[in-house]
Amino acid sequence: MDAKTEYAYILYETPAAHVARIVLNRPETANAQDTQFLYELNDAFERAAHDDDIRVIVLAANGKHFSSGHDLAEKDWYAHMADYDTVGTMCGFTCAGAERQMAREEEIYLGFSERWRNIPKPTIAAVQGKCIAGGLMLCWPCDIIIAADDASFVDPTVSFGVGGVEFFHHLWEVGARKAKEMLFTSDALSAEDAWRLGMVNQVVPRAELETAALAMAERIAQKSRFALKLTKKAINGAQDAQGRELAMQNAFHLHQLAHTHWLKLYDFLMDPTGLPEATRKALGIKLEEQ
């Protein structure tokens, strides 16, 4: 195995011929995603995408949980944007107000998830434990999802006054009616629920997750690289022909409206009354309206 460890939060491995495995490696925070984490992850995806010897990419996670979502405890995240070479065509990172907020989310949330969805190689997510909010934005862009039997999937953002995560793919994953239920209630989908709805391809015992994902990757890696690319483009293109891209943009802009609303009321991105008191305290949020 050729393990690389030059990232702080991500491992890049080549566990089998023509297979890259990218591992989320911040288990002490249940793989919470801060700005550095996401830029490292994007770099690892691009590295696998640009390596012609790699045919299939596996996305896995170390620790009990796949990902707890965005790291709300990150400080100075607007200032941090200057530390990275941005990869999209957005601008306004150094501006004030909603402009910089939208630019940041367009780059590292919606933008990254769309980039990963469109990598011209099959991608397989191996998900265990909790996959919360921003966690969905890592596994949903993958072509295939293999879930451990202990996996659960939840987008609780409506409880915090925001109508869904930035990569608003719920409807394309579970259908409109179930998407509404999961958002309206903030209830989690079990691995079994997700399999029944067609959101995940396989459910396997937790101990077999790594082997199952690698076995799937090795089988696919035997196929023609070019045929795999064309097939992926055909299926993703069909979703886009149904209006997916435009619908995603619309939802993203509504999401920005929600952030702007709560920033104006509480100087915080979400409705803080929906957060547990301990979280509010940790983040230094006061409940008096501004």
- Point out which residues bind Zn ion (CB under 5 A): 105, 166
Shortest Å, Cβ 134 to Zn ion: 9
Tokens of 165: 């995560």
Q: How far is the CB of 110 from Zn ion (least distance, A)?
A: 9
Q: Are 62 and 128 in contact (CB under 8 A)?
A: no
Q: How far is the CB of 255 from Zn ion (least distance, A)?
A: 5
CA contacts within 13 A on the Cβ side of 246: 3
Report H helices in the chain: 35-50, 77-80, 97-105, 112-117, 136-139, 170-174, 176-185, 191-196, 209-221, 225-241, 244-266, 277-283
Closest CB to Zn ion among residues 6, 76: 76
Nearer to Zn ion, 166 or 210 (CB): 166
When the beta carbons of 40 and 166 are compared against Zn ion, the nearer one is: 166
155 three-class SS: coil
Closer of 11 and 102 to Zn ion (Cβ): 102
- Minimum CB distance to Zn ion smaller for 111 or for 122: 111
Tell the smallest beta-carbon distance from residue 22 to Zn ion (Å): 23
Select 122 or 164, whichever has its Cβ closest to Zn ion. Answer: 164
Q: What is the DSSP letter of 67?
A: B
Residue 241 exposed, middle or buried by CB count within 10 Å (0-12, 13-18, 19+): exposed
Q: Provide, rounded to whole angstroms, the least separation between the CB of residue 36 and Zn ion.
A: 18
Handedness of CA 183, 188, 190, 191 (dihedral sign): positive
CA-to-CA dists, residue 275 to 8, 29, 266, 278, 284, angstroms: 29, 18, 13, 8, 12
Which one, of 65, 245, 217, 218, lies nearest residue 144 by Cα?
217
